[in-house]
Each structure stands twice: as C-alpha cells, then as structure tokens.
Structure 1
Amino acid sequence: MSPNRLLLQFALRRPVWIGLTIALGFSGALFNGVSTMLIIPVVLGLLGEEVNLKGAPPILQKVFSGLAQSGGEAQFLWMMGLILLAILLKNATSYASSLTSGHLSRSLVSDIRKEGLQLLLDVDLDFYIKTKVGDLINRLGGEIGSTATAIRTAVQMLSTMITIFVFLAILLSISWQLTLISTLLLAIVSLSNSFFVKRAKKFGKQLSDQSRDYSVAVLEMLSGIRLVKATGNESYEYQKIEQLISDREKADFDSQANSALVPPINEMAGLTVVVAILLLGRIFFRNQLESLSAVLLTYLLVLFRMLPFVGQLNNARSSFANLAPSVSVVNDFLRREGKPFMSKGHVPYSGMTEGIRFEQLAFTYPGHDRQVLNQVDLWLPKGTTLALVGSSGAGKSTLADLLPRFYDPTAGRILIDDRDLKDFEIHSLRQSMGIVSQDTFLFNDSVRNNLAYARRDATDDQIVEAAKRANAYEFIVKLPQGFDTLIGDRGVMLSGGQRQRLAIARALLRDPDILILDEATSALDTVSERLVQSAIDELSRDRTTLVIAHRLSTVQNADQIAVLDKGRVVEVGTHTELLKQGGLYAQLHAMQFSEEPQTV
C-alpha cells in the first residue's frame, strides 16, 4: 500500500471532518480570490483613473454595476467595505479551517497510534521473538511521529490545492488564454521539482533506516548495561553509537540541504512566470492595453497572489516525499497480513471438572526445522500436580507455553474436559491461569500496583492477605514506604527471592484455576528457595498445577512426574516409582544428590 493510500484509508474514517476541511478551505480561498479581484479597480478609482471592466469576470462586473447607482465616492467606499468584509471572512474561514484541519490531523495520528498499540497487544509472541524491541519502539514512536508530520503536510497540501484551484478558476474567468499559458508554465515548474522530490524520498529512506539502527543500538546498550560495564566495553559502545549518530546526522543534513533548495528555485521560477505573462499579455492585448488595464492588472495581482501557494505546494510535495519512507514503515507495521495471530476461540472458560489431556502433541517453532516436541501424551487430573523434568532443551518450557496458548501445537491437541483448548475464548482462558517463571517481570511501580496487576479490582485487604500467604508480607512492610514503595525497573531494587514471592502473591491474588510454575526456584539461594517453595506449596494446594522442575527436590511430592528427553516423554510416575525404575529420572536424581551435584 502506498503512503497516499494508507493516509486515505484512515482519512475516510473521518468523512465529516474531511468535508469541513474542504468546505472551509474552499470558502477561505473564494473570499481570498474575491478580495484580490476587487483591489485593483478600487485603487484605480481612488487615483481618479477610469475603471473599464470590459472583459472582467462576470461577478466583478455585476458587483460594480450593482454599486454604480451609489455613484462617485460612495461607490468606492462600498467597494472598500466589500474588500474588508471579504478579507474578514477569509481570515475567519482560514482560522476555522486551521482548527478543523488540525483536529483532522491529530485524529488521524491518534487512530494510527491506537491501531499500532492494538496490533502489538493482539499479535502472538512469535512476532516479538523475530522483531527487535528497539525497532518496534522506533516504529511506534519516531516513525509514527514522522507519519504525523506527513499527515499534517498532506492536509496542508489539500488546503493549498483548493486555494490554487479557486485562483485558477478566477484567472480563467479573466483570460483563458493567459491562464492556459500560466498553467503550462507552472506545470513545468512543478515537473522540475520532481527531481528534488525523488531525492527527498531517497534521503528520507536513509534517515528512516539510520533512526531505526540508532534506536535499536541504544535500547540494546541500555538493556545490557550491566554486561557493558562488567566487560569494560563502554568505549566500544560509545564509538559504535557515535558512528550511528554521525550517519544519522549526515542523512538529516542531506535531506535538509535538498529541501532548502526548493523554496528559492520556486521563487525564481514564479517570478519568471510573472514576467512571461507580462510579456505575453502585452503581445496578446497590444491594441487593448488602455481599455483592459484594470483587467490585466487584476489578472496579474491574482496570479501573483496564487504563486506563493504554488510554492507552498511544491515545498509540501518535497516534505511529503521525504516523510514517505516513514509512512511506508508504519504501513508495513500496521499491516496484519503475514503476522502471527492466534485464533480467539468462542467458548468462555468457566472452569474444569475432569482435567487436562495432552494428546499426541508435536511442535516446531515457526521458521525452524527441528521438532521440539514429538508425540507427547500426558494426563493432568483436576486438582493435581504434574512436574516436567529433563535436561536443558528437552522441551519442558515449550510444553508449558502451549497450555496458555502462547503457541499452538503443530500436531495433536490439548483438551480440557474433552474440549479442544482452541475452542475456549483465549482471554477468559488466560484469565483463569496463574504463571510464575524464573524470569519474573515486575513494573517500575509500587509493590501494591504490581500485585494488583493480576486483579485490578482487588481490595487492600486482599492484597495484604495474598502477600502473607506468599511469605512476602514481612519484607514488604520493612520497605521504606511499605506497599507503596517503588521497586525500580523490573523490580531491580528487590532480591531474586523477593521478586519471586511477589510473583507468587500476584498469582494468589488472581486465584487461578490452572497454575504453571516454570523453574520458579532455579536461581535462588537455599534460604530464599525454602521461602519461595513454601509459598509455591501454598499457591498450588488443590489447584491443577504444571511444574517445570530444575531441582528435583522441589517436585518429589508431585502427583506425577513426566521425564522429557529430546521432545519425547520417556517416563511417567511418582518420585518413588521413577527411582525404582532406574531410568533417566534415577540418573538425574543421582547426579543432583551426589557429592558434586550437577544441574540439569
């Protein structure tokens, strides 16, 4: 889709405001043209010159003939009054047009931002895996900002073109011959601007690319600032980003230098057109110069008044071409074709009565060939705990990601009470789940707001109760502002164990029907692990729970333990049963509980 079509697509959602903008723009241009037409006859009359309006536009002849009855000085006073009235109406409509066009521009930009935000919330996780966050931020911020400027430019172009068309109509009513020549000359001027328009688009593309690279690099540096400092790579990062800044500034300069050439060239070309019309008018009307002096002067004044608008239009064309690459980036960003979206389902989830069945599951990540899961068959009865263990890369986390439908299996299906998971309305399904992972995410907000994120209508008493059950209350009340303490970006002001307990409290507050624990204690020290494990036991009591285990000691009491190896389930049983079998689970257990324990 071209930039013009994208803007038109959004503009058509606001037909009333488009109509108002066009109507007010036309009215302002008409009053502008009328006031301009009246100036020359009035000036000539005030100077005592005879005003011959033979060949003048009919509207001008009618105005003069209607006022001729006043006679003498009164006639020209009426004419001056009409000029002032036309100017007043022109400025009033211009002011109203400015407000409506500004509202239209802001509305279109707001629509684009909202659609971009909605797309980011709707698209599947696979999109984020393949797309750099810095690129997304640049698109949602910088590129949409440039698109906002493009929209304002497009609205300005619309108003300017309306004004030019009105002036051309007036010029045609005075002399179609001169207007034909004027239009031809101005068209040549506009065509000559095409060279600068093409260059503007090229430089705009370079600037858009450089801005994207800069945003990506800065975000990656900030995200990995601990690694940067730990490895002493500050100078390397500075030099890398400094080069990106220089490249961006060069692209910006090239774009500005190209745009700066357009106004002076348009001004010189416009003056050339005026001189050419003067000469041609002298040639065409050689024998009528005296009788048509008022008409010719009016024509030249209207033409002279129109030329700045032609220059504005050419400048706007160059600016729009410079911004077109950003509009194209936004168009690609907003286009839903080719992006992964999960089917939403249609049956509201209202709880389970039997359990969850994983039936012949297979899964391959989009764009990859290796099968991560293969023929997985498991049964998780309601109110019980199923633990997944195995070496790194066995497919444990992938299997857990299929339950909240972060991905759908490439083969097989997941059933809740014999109904396919895909049938359930995805929002209500996820609302019924609580997920606690080793990489806990917390907002740069207060403890209270982080806990209440799981349940926006939670009362203070419910928040406190959840914190107590998660063994988090004691450390929370010791914080400087208690539950109102700001915890920093991703909870950086808290320890790992404290962050995990907040995540568990958040899950408790939601009171989920299904619980997913993804190696929630793997990165904790012994004391923190005991506190977190105690909170997990409280959280998972009487809930249907899927646990991904790193330390086998945390899942010994699970109702079932499934051992995964290379994407397949190789063993299923209780802790005692699996030890007796002497298979892979027994080997992993022996490795972890040997004198030199190893991780799995």
Structure 2
Amino acid sequence: MKSLMEIYRYTFSYRWQAILTIIFNLLFVIFNLLSIVLLIPFLQMIFKTEEVKYVAKPVYKGITHIVEYVTNSYQYIMQEMVKDDPKSALLFVCVTVFIAFFLKSLFRYGAIWHQSQLRMAVVRDIKNKLYAKALRLPMSYYTEERKGDLMSRMNSDVGEIEIAVVSMLELVFREPFAVLTSIAGLIYISPKLTLISFILLPVSAFVISRIGKSLKRTAKAGQEQNGIVYSAIDETLGGIKVVKAFNAIRYVQANFEKINLRHQQLITKAFRKRDLSPPLNEVLGSAVMICLVWFGGVMILDGQSGLTGSKFVGFIIIFSQLLRPIQGIATSVGNLNKAQPSQDRINEILNTEETIEQQVGAIPLTTFEDSIELDHVWFRYKDEMVLQDVSFSLKRGKTIALVGESGSGKSTIADLLPRFYDVSEGVIRIDGQDIRTYQLEDLHRHIGIVSQESILFNDTVRSNIAFGMDDAPMEKIIEAAKIAHAHEFIINMENGYDSVIGERGNKLSGGQKQRLSIARAIMKNPSILILDEATSALDTESEKIVQGALDELMKDRTSLIIAHRLSTVINADEILVLSKGKIAERGTHQELLEKKGLYHNLCSLQGMQS
C-alpha cells in the first residue's frame, strides 16, 4: 500500500496536468456513453411497433430532472421528425451520433496529450532523483553492488512507474466513472436486468486480486534478474579486450544467454499473469451477457416488464461498453501490482544511508597552511581490519610515498583523505582540524587525484581538462596541457581541443590519457595531491613522459604518492612501508636501504641498486 501511495503522489506531483487528464477522461466517458444512448430513441421511432410511446413537448422542471428533460427533449425532436420526414430523422441522428463520436475522440486525445506530458515529467523527475542519489552514495555502495543493477533500476523499474502513473489515473478516476455511468444507464433502462448483471463485478474482483498477488512476486524477481542482465552487459563490454584475448567469447556468450533466458522466463511469466485478467473478465462478461440476452428475451416475449426491443438493444450495447472499463480496471491493477516491486527497488536506492555526510555547522576550508596528520587511524571494511594504528604527518610542500605489497592498505589511506570513506577509529586532521568538520566541497576542492586508471569522459579534450569548471578560460586550459606535456599531441588531433576522445578516452593511448588526467589536476590547482599508481600501467617511454608531467604537477605541492615502482619515489621526503595494514618501516630512500628490511627487499626484487 505504501508503494501505491508513492505512485499516487508521483501522479499528482504535476497537479494541473493530472486534473486536466482526469477532466478530459471524464468527458470521454460521458460522450462514449452518449454516442450509444442517442441511438435508442431513433430505433423506437424508425421501427414503428405497438411499443412506441409518444411523448408531449417536455417542460423543464429544474436541475433534479435534467436527465429526464434532456432524454424527453431528444425523443420529442426525433418523434416530430419521424412524423414529417423519416429520412431527415435518419440524417439528424447520424449527424448527432457523429458529433458525439467526434467529441469522444477529441476528449480522449486531450487526455492523452496531457497524460503524455505528465508521465514523462514523472519519469524525468525520478531519474533525476536516482542520478543525484547515485552521485551522493558512498564508495562502499559501488564496491558491494552491481552498477548494472543501478542502471536497471533507472531504466526498467522507472519504466514500470511510468506505466503505473497512467494506470493510477485510469483506475482511480476514469474507469470507475465509466462503470458508474454505464450502470446508471443500465438501471435507467431496466433495473431488473441490471441486478442480474451485477454478478460479474464480485467475480471479476476476486479474479483480479488472486492474479495480482502472484504477479507482484514474479515481477519483483524479474526486475532483480534484469539488474543481473545489465551488470553482465556492463562487465563484458568493459572488459571486451580481455574477453577476446582469452578466446572467452563463447564462454561469456553462454553465460549471458543463461542469465538472459532466466530473465526472459520471469518476464514472460509476469506478462502472462498480467494479461490473464482481461481475457478472463471478457469470458465472464460474455457469459453474463448471454444470460442477459436470455432473460431479456424472455421478458420481452412475456410482455411483463415494459422492456421494448429497442431499449433491450440499447441495454446490451451499454452493457458491452461496461466490460471495457472493467477490463481496464483489471489491466490497471495488474500494472500497479507489477510496478510495486519496481517502486520498492527504487526506494532501496533513494533510502540508502549516506554514510559520508557533511556535519551540521561544518566549517569552510579556505586555505591549507600547515600539515595533514593521521592520528592512530584504524579502518575496518566489513569484518576485515584494513588499517591498524596508522600515524604520520605530512607537512605542507612535502612529499610522502606509500609503498608495500598489494592489499597492505596504501590506497585505503588515499581514499580516507578526501573522505570517500571515514575512519573506524582515530582521526585525520588538516591544519589541526578533524577533516569531518570541514565542508565536503571545500575538502574536495583542495585535493587533486591522479589514479592508475585514467577516468575520462566521452566529451571533448577541452571539457575533460576543465572538468567541473564552468566557462574555464581557454588560455588556462592550454597552459595546463602544456605543463602536463599534452599540448603537442592534442593539437595534432583532428579537431584539437574540441576533439571528442570517446568513452573512457578509448581514442587515446594510455600515456595520452594519463597526461590528460594530469592536465585536469593541474587545471584544478589543488593544494594537496594524491598520486595513486599514476605510472604503473604505462610502458617505459610513456612513463618517462608522464613522470616529467607529474614532476611539474608536484612542484610546491603537498603530495601523497602510492607506488609499486620504487624508482618513482626515491626523492620523496619520507617513505612509509606498509605491511598488513600497519606501518612496518619509515624513512628516506637511503635510510630504508641501510636498514636492510622490507624496503631493501622490495628494491632488490625490482633490480634497484643499493
């Protein structure tokens, strides 16, 4: 029920669009019924039988008798026209019925016009909320969850909400009104026959509820499987080189087909359950209609009820129209049941706790003046203690290098400094102040990161260098590129700085991508620089060029370097050797060599001379 209320709120978040959709739908229902009712007096007049009842010119008796007045007025006009010229009466009824059908179609299109704006505006808003939330989610979320599942929620699940918004309007306003007006017309013609027809409604309601419960379970499983499908696609395309290099095409294809088959089976099952209600209701409706034909025929033949042949034909036509909104209710309920798991999956994202939040009353970090200090820092990820009692101080303008085997905690320290994660115990301070007390935007503004994987975007060179900056001067962009040793290859590209570099920069070489990342960091002009394996993925020639760019970037900056290639950190002011989350050794390059400990062993393994 909570999910349905949220869908209801989505529907009326654009109140006037929703109200106009409702008004046009109600007018559509009225003229749909009117286009049928208009035929009944004509049938009475044109097929002259003893049953024809002639009426006197009606007198208006007030609003409470408006239906009777309008009906008798139309019948009186038809009656007079049939007396004078039956052909004119035929033309008149054809024109009035055509006008009724035209207005019915016009109002239906009016409803669709406003409904289309409403449904897409709701979809846009939900996607905006999900995207904004995805940007604020902690890094731990992306470690534990699949990106493909998030994409599935932003596409398939939101698509189900789009359908549900339309179904909500139709279920709450249009279809019940259509049912009530049709029943009112049936009661007006023959209360006795209407009572017989009421057997359809409870049976339909029972069928809808039974199918709906089953549909909700299947739809949830289908949407979860769809997330797995998206993840498989994202994973495969992201590692397509590895797939080809290891001749794994058949393997990943078979794996994907297995996942996709399961998705197809679940979605097919959900569609079958959703689409079962309308035909079942139609069968039940046709059964009731046959009963009505029999009962009504008997009543006319017995001549006891006052039911005429023309009214009976009108009754059957109206009753057939009653089936459409009942089937519409079944379809809408099915769509809403299918949308509820999607709404729950969307809420899982929107309600995910933002563990890295800015404190109330956070203070600005205007300048970095003195030092960064890690004071007895511990960090736990799930059940594993990644860092244990780590303490060191990095003075302004100095460089500290972190080295050690894989998994020793080097990158974790780099992630703690910009608060991608928060420490489990201990404290990190900048200029003597706990970093958790600073405004997050200020903290990030002072920190520049160049990582092993060059994260670039499918945009121009200019936009990637000036990423996150509005109206950055071209002169500064070129200056940053020159410092990063990137200007020369950029101007040789087809469109220079306006060249689009492809998804993740795949039109560039590894060295070119890394130099663009460095130019981006230079453009940001951070006080604190984090270099996380910035050259480890490059060949010797590219590494030499990139290292020159990094040296330019590090001038007069406070730098934290993480490196496997120890040749890149020999000039660091201090080197920390990490092992199993602890600082095992610390000192300058020469001091650590003289200790002949872990660092000395690492240097020997890399062939570095003592």
TM score, norm. by length of structure 2: 0.86
Question: Which 10-residue stretch deviates more, 431-440 or 449-458?
Answer: 449-458
Q: Distance in 1 between matches of 2:218 and 2:53?
A: 53
Match of 2:540 among 521, 526, 538: 526
Q: Distance in 1 between matches of 2:239 and 2:74?
A: 79
1:164 corresponds in structure 2 to 179
Q: By how many angstroms is 1:72 displaced?
A: 1.5
Q: Tell me how far apart the structure 1 counterparts of residues 98 and 53 of structure 2 sit (CA, whole Å).
A: 20
Aligned CA distance change for structure 1 residues 107 and 46 (closer, same or farther; 3 Å) = same
1:52-103 deviation per Cα after TM superposition (whole angstroms, max 9, x unaligned): 789xx95442124456886722997988776555544433322222212222
Contact 1:196 1:262 in 2 (8 A): yes
Query: Aligned-pair distance for 1:588?
Result: 3.7
Return the offset for 1:318: 3.7
Q: Does the alignment pair 1:62 with 2:66?
A: no
- 1:525-564 matches, within 5 Å, as 525-564=539-578
Alpha-carbon spacing, 1:291–1:148, altered in 2? closer, same or farther (3 Å): closer
Distance in structure 2 (CA, Å) of the matches to 1:86 and 1:531: 78
Paired residue type of 1:357: E
2:292 to 277, 280, 283: 277
Partner of 1:47: 47
Letter of the aligned partner of 1:541 in structure 2? Answer: K
Residue 189, structure 1, aligned to residue 204, structure 2:
yes
Q: State the one-letter code of the partner of 1:488.
A: G
Structure 2 unpaired stretches of 5+:
57-63, 84-88
Partner of 1:406, secondary structure, is coil
- Please name the residue that 2:324 is paired with: 308
1:460 paired residue number: 474
Q: CA 1:80 to 1:439, structure 2 compared with 1: closer, same or farther past 3 Å?
A: closer
Equivalent position amino acid for 1:42 in 2: F
Q: 1:180 to 1:109 in 2, by over 3 A?
A: farther
Structure 1's unaligned 5+ residue stretches are: none
State the SS of the aligned residue for 1:569: strand
What is the rounded CA distance, in whole Å, between the counterparts of 1:370 and 1:267 in structure 2?
60
Asked if the contact 1:37/1:60 (under 8 Å) is kept, the reply is no
Deviation at 1:440, TM superposition (A): 1.4
Please give the alpha-carbon distance, in whole angstroms, between the structure 2 residues aligned to 1:242 and 1:552.
45
Secondary structure at 1:380 match in 2? strand
Distance change in 2, residues 1:513/1:267 (3 Å): same
Task: Quote the offset at 1:312 in angstroms.
Answer: 2.9
Aligned to 1:425: 439
Quick one: distance in 2 between partners of 1:357 and 1:251? Answer: 54
1:480-528 deviation line (CA, Å, top 9, x unaligned): 4433344333233433322221111110011112211112122333333
Cα separation, 1, equivalents of 2:422 and 2:268: 48
> In structure 1, the residue corresponding to 2:407 is in which secondary structure?
coil
Within a 5 Å distance, the mapping from 1:571-590 to structure 2 comes to 571-580=585-594, 583-590=597-604
Summarize deviations over 1:137-182 as a string: whole Å, max 9, x none.
2222233234333333444434323322332344345555544442
User: Which segment drifts farther, 539-548 or 583-592?
Assistant: 583-592
The answer to whether the 8 Å contact 1:440/1:503 transfers is yes
- Is residue 122–residue 341 contact of structure 1 (8 Å, CA) maintained in 2? no
What percentage of residue pairs aligned between the two structures are identical?
34
Q: Mapping of 1:231-250 within 5 angstroms?
A: 231-250=246-265
When structure 1 is superposed on structure 2, of 505-514 and 203-212 the one drifting more is 203-212
- Give the Å deviation of 1:593: 4.5
Q: CA deviation at 1:311?
A: 2.3
Counterpart residue number, 1:96: 110
The answer (yes or no) to whether the contact 1:28–1:93 under 8 Å persists in 2 is yes
- Alpha-carbon distance, 1:292 to partner: 5.9
Contact 1:467 1:473 in 2 (8 A): yes
SS in 2 for 1:360: strand
- Comparing 30-39 with 526-535, greater Cα deviation is found at 30-39
Deviation at 1:236, TM superposition (A): 1.9
> Contact conserved, 1:42 with 1:80, CA < 8 A, in 2?
no
Number of residue-to-residue matches in the alignment: 590
- What is the SS of the residue equivalent to 2:327? helix
2:163 is aligned with 1:149: yes
Please tell me whether the aligned partners of residues 384 and 559 of structure 1 are also in contact (alpha carbons under 8 angstroms).
yes
Distance 1:2 1:64, change over 3 A: closer
**Structure 1 SS opposite 2:388:** strand
SS in structure 2 opposite 1:448?
helix
Task: Work out the CA distance in 1 between the residues paired with 2:581 and 2:102.
Answer: 78
Q: Which amino acid aligns with 1:16?
A: W
Q: What corresponds to 2:240 in structure 1?
A: 225
CA displacement, residues 313-348 of structure 1 (integer Å, 9 cap, x when unaligned): 32343454455544443343x4414x4441124333
Mapped pair 1:11 → 2:11: yes
Provide the residue aligned with 1:24 in structure 2. 24
Q: Which residue of 1 aligns with 2:60?
A: none
Deviations, residues 402-456 of structure 1 (Å, cap 9, x unaligned): 1111001011122222222112221232133210011111223332232122534
C-alpha contact 2:190 2:307 (8 A) present in aligned 1? no
Q: Which moved more, 1:14-23 or 1:582-591?
A: 582-591
Q: 2:413 aligns with which of 399, 415, 418?
A: 399
Counterpart for residue 440 of structure 1: 454
Q: Point out the more displaced range, 57-66 or 383-392.
A: 57-66
CA contact (8 A) 1:53 1:295 kept: no
Moved more, 132-141 or 500-509: 132-141
Asked if the contact 2:275–2:331 (Cα under 8 Å) also holds between the matched residues in 1, the reply is: no
Q: Secondary structure at the match of 2:561?
A: strand
Aligned amino acid, residue 513 of structure 2: R
Structure 2 counterpart of 1:139, one-letter code: R
Measured against aligned partners, the alpha-carbon deviations of 1:163-205 in whole angstroms (never above 9, x if no partner) come to 2233234434555554444233232134234454455445544
Secondary structure of 1:494's match? coil
Contact 2:373 2:394 survives alignment (8 Å): yes
Question: Are the structure 2 counterparts of residues 241 and 585 from structure 1 closer, same or farther at C-alpha, using a change threshold of 3 Å?
Answer: closer
Deviates further, 142-151 or 411-420: 142-151
Superimposed CA distance per residue, residues 107-161 of structure 1 (whole angstroms, 9 cap, x where no aligned partner): 2222221121112111111111111122222222233234333333444434323
Q: Say which of 135, 160, 169 aligns to 1:121.
A: 135
- Counterparts of 1:52 and 1:295, CA distance in 2: 15
One-letter code of the match for 2:80? G
Aligned AA (1:567)? G
Whether contact under 8 Å (1:372, 1:566) holds in the other structure is yes
Q: Distance in 2 between matches of 1:102 and 1:578?
A: 69
SS for the counterpart of 2:199 is helix
- Report if aligned partners of 1:10, 1:111 keep a CA contact under 8 Å in 2: no
Contact 2:530/2:559 (<8 A) preserved: yes
